[in-house]
Amino acid sequence: MTIRVKRLGYALGAEITGVDLAKPISDATIAEIRAAWLEHQVLVFPNADITAEQHIAFSCRFSELEVGLTKHYRESANPGIVRVTNRVVDGKPSISRNVGRTWHSDSAFALVPPMGSLLHCKELPEVGGDTLFANMYMAYERLSPGLRKLIAPLEVVNDRLAAPELHWIPPEQAARERIEWPPTVQPVVRVHPETGRKAIYCNETVTVKIHGMTPEESEGVLKYLYSHCVRPEFVYRHRWQLHDLVMWDNRCTMHLAPVDYDMSHVRDMSRTTLRGTPTGRVYDSSKEYLE
């Protein structure tokens, strides 16, 4: 089987047709899909009317699934699935209803950030509910040589508790989160382990400062990078259709789920997360200024 690849955006994004995700897929076709993924960073599989089990099976062709991260959002019946929904769950507002409202790379606070994710559309509002993706290769390559040289050795401190949706959790939960997910030090410029290309790897959701600097000293550089990374020419906006499956590469993209719809209307998604490779180290504030 030879898949059909249609570019969707100038910066990134491609539609994949000619494959039925509900049926067994050959190794050769998976290799074609992976090559397209590495080239286009975001793949859209339209009209993928698949079950949770088929979603998981397809995802596992690319990597082991990550089940430790975002465990609070996972389905009990299918622990490989994260539910991203504004539906009422067990009589309460869903805890995932407001995730992703600022630009981010998934779990950039982790020592083993995910390789990527596959998000499946179950139900949509009448209008809106889009997802925006930004090309971090392009963002890096469009910097001036002087700024690329400046940021090449820099690292940032990333903290899960800096994420806006966690600002209001009870202190006892925050203490548990801090033990399980301590802040980490990550490179500002990450080298993709498969393509060898360089990408900017810091974001407004969890990055708190440049390592070795104060937040005030870091602010100018980071604010510039945050705004530069999401220039319109680097961004693809996906307008969801029912049963779309969208697969993105977490190592070279950022994404954002804006509140561009009536929250009284249902937006219901299921996500699998692909386990990645280690990067960074645990942040030790006592040694920061001694290095």
Report which residue type is found at 27: D
Question: Is 271 tagged catalytic?
Answer: yes
Catalytic residue among 55, 83, 160, 255: 255
58 with 16: CB under 8 angstroms?
A: no
Question: Is 106 tagged catalytic?
Answer: yes
273 with 120: CB under 8 angstroms?
A: no
Radius of gyration (Cα) for the chain, nearest Å? 19
Neighbouring-strand partners of residue 237? 132
Catalytic residue among 55, 106, 159, 160: 106
Q: Is 186 exposed, middle or buried (0-12, 13-18, 19+ CB in 10 A)?
A: buried
Catalytic residue among 74, 83, 104, 190: 104
Edge to edge, the sheet with strand 4-7 lists: 4-7, 14-17, 42-45, 245-249, 116-123, 268-274, 82-85
Residues taking part in catalysis = 104, 106, 255, 271
